[in-house]
A and B are shown apart, each in its own frame.
Chain A
C-alpha cells in the first residue's frame, strides 16, 4: 500500500538502489578505445607472435583493472604471418578503421618495412614491438613510426667486437634473402671488416628453404671458424640441424632473430649448446620491471612463453595507453605525444625516441646457450673458461 509506512520505505529503498545503480553505471561507462596488435599469430614464427600478443593483452588487462584510467581499452589482434603482402592487407584494414587509434605492430622486419607508408598515409600512429631493420625508422622521417626495440646495427656492432676479442678470424655469412637478412649481412660485413676479420663467403636463401645442405657443403669447404647467421628461428633451426648432419663444427653466431625459447626447443638443448647471440635487452630478471611482468604473465595463465620480445610488446602497449590517457583517443594527438617521449619509465628500461621515432636506449647484451637456456655471457661458464666455444683459436 502506498499510504502505508512499509510502502514508503519500500519506495525509498528502491529509489536508492536505482540511483546507486545509475551512479555505478556512470562510473563504469568508460569510453572504449581500440588498439591494434599485429604480429605472426600463425606460421613458423607464431611462437614469437603469440608471445607478443599475450604480452600486449596483459598490458591491456592490467590497465583496464586500474579504476583510475579514463578509458576502457580493447586489443584487436591481427595476424600478419610475417609476410609483407599479408601485413599490407592487415594494416590497411586497421588503418581504415577509425575506431582504432593506435597500433603496436610487427615482429618481422620484412612485414614492418612494407607497411610504413600505410601508417603514414592513414595517419595512424604506431609503436613497433620487435622488428629490428634500421630502415623502418631511419629510411625517412615518418611522424607516425616509433619503435621500442633496438635496430640490428647495435647487435652487429657488439657481435663483431665480441668475436674479435675471442680471437676469431674467419667467418661465413648465412642470411635469409629478405630485407631483414640482407641488412643483417650488410652490417655484419661492415663491422667484421672494420675489425679486420675475414669473410670467406656469403650465402642468402629464402626464409622457407628446407634443405640448406648444398650451401653448408660449400661452407664446409671454406672451413670458417664461425658461421654468422642473419635470419629468423625457423631457418636458424634448419641451419643448426643440418650443420650437425654434415659434421660442420664451426661456432654459430646468431642475432636477435633466433633469440628466444623457440630456437632451443626446436634444435634441442644439445645442439643449441654454445650458440651465441646478441640481443638488445638484458634478460627479464634484470629488466627494471622484469619481475612485475613475469609474475603477472604467469598469473594471467598464459601457457606459451612471452619469448624474447614479449616484454617489448608489453612496454609498447603500455606506452600507447599512457599517451591516450594524457591526450585522448585521437590519432594526431597520439602521434604528437609519442614524438615527445623521453626517459619514460617502462619494464624494459627508460624509453626515449629520437627524431626518427627510434628508442635509443636499448642495452645490447651478449648471450650464449648453456644447458638449454640463453645465459648472459658474463654469467656463463664460457666466460669463466669452464666451457669453451667451438673452434676457438
Chain B
C-alpha cells in the first residue's frame, strides 16, 4: 500500500510538469488554432534563464529565499517574453497561412532556440547543474517518503495551474482571450485589441512552460539543452488525450500520461525501458477511441 502511495507521489510530480506543458499547447490551440511545437524549447529557454538568474543572484549575494523567487520569476518572464515575441512576430503575421506552414514554422523556431542554447550558452552542450534552492530532506509517513522539495514543487505547480484557470475564467483579460478564441472578428468589433490579446495569451501559455522549466530544474537539479524535446511530445500527447483546447483536459492528460509511465514500471518492471513506448501506444489507442479527447472541447467554451 505504501508503495502505491509512493508511486502516486512520484507520478504527481511528473504529472504536474506534463500538465503545465499541456496547458500551454491547449491555450495556443484554443486561441489561434495553432499547434506550437516550439513550446518545449520555450520551456528550455525559461529553465536556462532561471539558471542565469541563479548565477546572478549568487554573485549578488541574495539570500536563498530571494534567489528562489528570482529564479522562478526570471524563468517565467523569459518564457513569457519569447512566447509573446513568437506570437507577435510569427504566429500573427502567418495566421492566414496554411496550418502546415505554421506547424513547420514553430518547429523551426524551436530548433533555432535549442541550437542557440547549445551553441551560445557557456558549455551549452553539457548538462547544467541547477542549484538546489529548496529545503532538502523529508519525512517518512507509513513507509511513504515525502520529500520537502517535492511537496513544495507539486503545491506550487498545482497552484499555478489554478491561477491560470482563474485568469482565463474569472478576469476581464481571460474574458477577452476567450472572446478572441471564440471569434476573433467579433471580438475586434467589440473593441478588444486582437493583436495584444493574442500576444498576452501566448505569453500566459508560455509562462506555464517557464514554471514547468523551473520546477524541472529545481526537482532534478539538472537541465540540458534538449530537455524540452521529450517534454513537448509528452505535453502535446497529454493535451490531445485530454481534448485539445480544454484546460482541464490538458491537466487530466498530463496526470494520465505520468500515471501510465509509472504503472508500466510498477507492474512490469522488466519493461521499464519501454515505458514511453507503452504510454504512447495507449495514447494512440485513446485517440482512436475518442478522437476529440477524454474531455471533449465544448463548442461554446474554448480555452
Chain A contacts to B: CB under 8 angstroms = 42-44, 46-47, 177, 201-206, 210-211, 213-215, 217-218, 220-221, 234, 237-238, 241, 245-247, 266
Contacts and interface: CB of A to CB of B under 8 A. Distances in A.
Contacts of B89: none
Interface residues of B, number: 31
Contact of A214 (B145, B149, B265, B273): B265
B95 interface: no
A214 B10 contact: yes
B272 A246 contact: no
Contacts of B222: 210, 237-238
Nearest to A217: B6
Contacts of B270: 202
B273 A177 contact: yes
B224 A44 contact: yes
Q: Which 9 A-B pairs have the closest CB atoms?
A: A247-B145, A42-B125, A214-B265, A213-B10, A221-B3, A177-B273, A204-B273, A214-B262, A217-B6
A214 B7 contact: yes
B145 A211 contact: no
B49 to A, nearest CB: 19
From B13, B126, B129, B224, residue with most partner A Cβ within 10 Å: B126
B7 A217 contact: yes
Interface of B: 3, 6-7, 10-11, 13-14, 125-127, 129, 138, 140, 145, 147, 149-150, 220-222, 224, 227, 261-262, 265-266, 269-270, 272-273, 275
A206 B273 contact: yes
Given A214-B7, A245-B147, A246-B6, A44 B126 contact: yes
A290 B203 CA distance: 57
Given A46-B125, A213-B10, A220-B3, A205 B272 contact: yes
Contacts of A217: 3, 6-7, 10, 265-266
B125 A218 contact: no
Nearest to B127: A44
Given A214-B265, A217-B10, A43 B129 contact: no
B272 A43 contact: no
Nearest to B264: A214
A373 B44 CA distance: 33
25 contacts: A43-B125, A43-B126, A44-B126, A177-B273, A202-B270, A203-B269, A203-B272, A206-B273, A211-B14, A213-B13, A214-B10, A214-B265, A215-B269, A215-B272, A217-B3, A217-B6, A217-B265, A218-B266, A218-B272, A220-B6, A238-B222, A241-B221, A245-B138, A247-B138, A247-B140
Contacts of B147: 245-247
A238 B11 CA distance: 17
Contacts of A214: 7, 10-11, 261-262, 265-266, 272, 275
Contacts of A211: 10, 14, 220
B32 to A, nearest CB: 31
Given A213-B10, A266-B129, 11 more contacts: A46-B126, A177-B273, A210-B222, A211-B220, A214-B7, A214-B261, A217-B7, A217-B265, A218-B272, A238-B220, A246-B6
Nearest to A221: B3
Contact of B126 (A42, A177, A241, A245): A42
A204 B222 CA distance: 21
Contacts of A220: 3, 6, 145
A41 B27 CA distance: 40
A43 B10 CA distance: 27
Nearest to A265: B129
Contacts of A221: 3
A245 to B, nearest CB: 5
B101 to A, nearest CB: 30
A42 B125 CA distance: 6
A203 B274 CA distance: 11
Contacts of B273: 177, 204-206
A238 B223 CA distance: 12
B145 A215 contact: no
Given A43-B126, A203-B272, A204-B273, A218 B150 contact: no
Contacts of B261: 214
Contacts of B149: 245
A227 to B, nearest CB: 14
Contacts of A210: 220, 222, 227
